[in-house]
Amino acid sequence: MAVLGFPTMKRQMRVRQENVMAILLFATVLFVLAPFAAAQPTFSTTTFLEAVRTKFGKPASCKHPTCICSIADESIAWRLLSEYGSIFVAADAVRVPSHCIFENEKQVTEFQSSSRSSSEIMSGVTIELQDEAMTALLNAQAEARRIGLRITPLDGSIAGKRSYSDTIRIWNSRYLRALDHWVRRGKISPEEAQTARNDAVLVQIRKVMDWESTGLNFGTNIKGSIFSSTAPPGTSQHLSMLAFDVVQYANRNIRAIMNKHGWYQTVANDPPHFTFLGLTEKELPSRGLKNIVKGNYKFWVPDLK
């Protein structure tokens, strides 16, 4: 063993002291930052598509909206997911369809009859929702009542569950009226409109997307997009019994109470429409949702990168 000279020993002691100080400083930083690290969402990097793919148990290769949505037309798949897709990352306690569109009444009836649901009379109309969504809504209504407010259904029983034929009827109330309007304005030919009236749903969606991209709006009263006004037949969140349209949506306190009970506005430009996600607001980014503010309202929509 070499015998060290006194200056060398002093230098080594100083180096050891500096190392100890550095370790203590590092430990202090870790101690201070630990609570913040723990507060981060577990899946903060999860994208929306990945969250849906995982939830549906689809293979790792299924990363594209056409596969996630089970719709071959890429632009329709993107559009449906971006408009109405938030529902697909709802809490596991509720049931969501494994594709973006129900093709007929039979598919809707099968989904609805095999999901646990309950009905309540609200403002004189029957509202039916999945059990967890109904319990949360009743709790929200009770909380609102305690501060002298009400949460009531908009436009009768279609505020809750809808049938496939309901979604056709509501879509046609905009779609057919807008076709007539644009024919009168000379923007769409009578022959083209006649064909469009009888097209299959996916073809109607494709054509409306094309027309609206040129400024021919199909929304309520020919204002805005039809996709913010009503979902195309078979694509409405109301079919899943996880949506509820609220009369008092403009009241900030009502929105806060709905949010607290897992109900969020998820369709941009449709503020009366709330979706039951059954999650806390802090959990939503971890499911691939982002919030956007339009008007006075905050919408939780898919973060489609």
Stretch in the footprint of Zn ion (CB under 5 A) among 8-16, 128-136, 217-225, 245-253: 245-253
What is the identity of the amino acid at 187?
Answer: K
- Are 108 and 234 in contact by the 8 Å Cβ rule? The answer is yes
219-254: b (≥16 Cβ within 10 Å) or e: beeeeebbbbbbbbbbbbbbbbbbbbbbbbbebeeb
Instruction: Give me the least distance between CB of 38 and Zn ion, in Å please.
Output: 37
Beta carbon nearer to Zn ion, 68 or 242: 242
Instruction: Give me the least distance between CB of 229 and Zn ion, in Å please.
Output: 10
How many residues in total does the chain contain?
305
- Are 292 and 301 in contact by the 8 Å Cβ rule? The answer is yes
Instruction: Give me the least distance between CB of 120 and Zn ion, in Å please.
Output: 17
Cα within 13 Å of Cα(215), Cβ side: 2
Does 273 bind Zn ion (CB under 5 A)? Our answer is yes
> DSSP 3-state assignment of 199?
coil
Q: How many residues bind Zn ion (CB under 5 A)?
A: 3
Subset of residues 222 to 241 that bind Zn ion, contact rule: CB under 5 A: none
Among 132, 143, 245, 303, binds Zn ion (CB under 5 A): 245
Subset of residues 11 to 40 that bind Zn ion, contact rule: CB under 5 A: none
Instruction: Give me the least distance between CB of 240 and Zn ion, in Å please.
Output: 11
Beta carbon nearer to Zn ion, 53 or 79: 79
Beta carbon nearer to Zn ion, 47 or 172: 172
- CB-neighbour burial class of residue 276 (10 A; exposed 0-12, middle 13-18, buried 19+): buried
Does 132 bind Zn ion (CB under 5 A)? Our answer is no
Does 161 bind Zn ion (CB under 5 A)? Our answer is no
Q: Which residues pair with 119 in a beta bridge?
A: 128
Instruction: Give me the least distance between CB of 273 and Zn ion, in Å please.
Output: 3
In the complex, the residues that contact Zn ion under the rule CB under 5 A are 243, 245, 273
